[in-house]
Amino acid sequence: MSDNKFPPLSPTATPPTWLGVMGGGQLGRMFAHAAQMMGFKVAVLEPSRDCPAGHAADHLIAADYGNEAALAELALQCAAVTTEFENVPAQSLSFLADRSFVAPSASCVSVAQDRIAEKRFFTQCAPTSGVLPAPYHIVAAETDIDTIPDTLFPGILKTVRMGYDGKGQVRVKTQDEVRQAFAAMKGVPCVLEQMLPLAYEVSVLTARGADGESVVYPIAENVHRDGILFTTTVPGPNVSAASAEQAQKAALAIVAQLGYVGVLCIEFFVLQDGSLVVNEMAPRPHNSGHYTIDACVTSQFAQQARAMARLPLGDVRQHSPAVMLNILGDIWFDGDGDQVREPAWDKVLALPGANLHLYGKDDPRRGRKMGHVSFVAPTLEAAQASLHAACAILRIAL
C-alpha cells in the first residue's frame, strides 16, 4: 500500500481517529499521552495486561505480537500503527501494513533488529553520510573465530539480535576469550566490534514524514553506566559545532536512504581525534530523547504521532538547556538490602526546573527503568546544578 493512499488524519474526526502501538512499555505510555493531547485515541497491543502503556491507552489488546486475530483487530480499529520497541516481529508489521498505515515499516525495523544488516546498511550509506561503523567481524560459527584479525582486539562481542541496555555484550581481548563468550551466549550469531578510543557518545534524534520531510533535533551527549543510559545533556558540553553538524547531516542522510517514516534515533561515537563513528539506530523514540518533552517545542512522542497521522512535522527548537537523569529501581533500596522505600520525590520536585516522569511500574527492581527526571533551566550550568542536587537526594553517585 503506497503512502499516497493515506491522506492526513484528523484528530477531531467523528468517529474518533485511533492510532495503534505495538508494545506496552514506557515509550508506548508516553506516546499515548502525547497522541491523546492532540485528540487521538490510542490502542496498544501487548501480551501483558499490566503494562505502562496499557494503563494510559484508551484500549488494550492483550495478545502476543504474532497473534493474527489480535493484529487484525488492531488494524481494523487504527488508521495508523507504530511500534515502541525494535524487537516486535517484522512479519507482524508486514501483516498490519496490508491493512493499515504502518510507520516505521517492517523493512526499516528489520534492519535495526539485526546488527549485521545494520552495519552493512551504514556502510552502504557512507558515501552520502560520511560516516562508517566501527571495524567488525561476524562470528556466526566457531570457525569464524579463527579468522578474527588481531587488529580487532580488544573488542566487544555482541549478539546480532535482541541485545539492549548492555545485555548480550562481552568485552574480549583474545580469540580464546571470544570462544568462551561465544559458548556462554549459546553459539548465537554475534558480531565482534573493535573497541575504539572513545571521547564521548552522542545521539541524534530525527523524524521523517511520509512526504520525505525531515527534521533533526539538537545533539544529545550521553553517559552510560553498566550499559544503561545514565544522563543525557543537551547541549552537550563536549560537542563541538563541527561534530554536531557532521552528526546531524549524517543522520539525515541515513534516514533518507532508509526511506524511514517516524522518529528514529541514531547513536554515534566521537573519538578522541574528533572523528565520528556510527554505532546503532533505534526505530522509535529513544531514552536519550526524553528531554524533548520538557525542553523542546515538539516532543519526540508528539513528533511520532504527527508522522503517523501524515501531519506536518513539529518545530524541533530547544527552548531551554536540559539534563535528563534516568531513574532505576536501585534508588528504592538502601545499599544491598531488600527493603523497599519510597524515594524523596518531594525534595527532588523542590529543585529548580525539575520535571518528574514515572512510568507506572509498581515493582521496583535493581537495574529496571522506573522513570526519569528532566532538569531545564536558563543555563546549562543551572540545569546541571539541579541534577547534582537530585543525585545527592536520591543517593546516586556522580
Residue list for the binding site for ATP = 115, 158, 163-169, 193-196, 201, 224, 279-280
Phi and psi, residue 223, nearest 5°: -125, 130
Neighbouring CB atoms inside 10 A of 123's CB total: 15
Q: Nearest CA to 284 among 46, 41, 105, 98?
A: 105
Binding site: which residues? 115, 158, 163-169, 193-196, 201, 224, 279-280
Bridge partners (DSSP) listed for residue 266: 204, 281
* Residues 322, 234 contacting (CB under 8 angstroms): yes
For residues 103 and 243, give the distance between their C-alpha atoms in angstroms, rounded to a whole number: 29
Phi and psi, residue 234, nearest 5°: -140, 120
For residues 10 and 275, give the distance between their C-alpha atoms in angstroms, rounded to a whole number: 44
For residues 278 and 201, give the distance between their C-alpha atoms in angstroms, rounded to a whole number: 10
For residues 369 and 11, give the distance between their C-alpha atoms in angstroms, rounded to a whole number: 31
- The residue behind cell 520538557 is 294
Q: Fill in the amino acid letter for 175.
A: Q
Q: Say whether 380 sits in a helix, a strand or coil.
A: helix
Helices then strands, each counted (H, E), the chain: 12, 18
Q: Fill in the amino acid letter for 305.
A: A
My answer on whether omega of the bond before 235 falls inside 30° of 0, hence cis, is yes
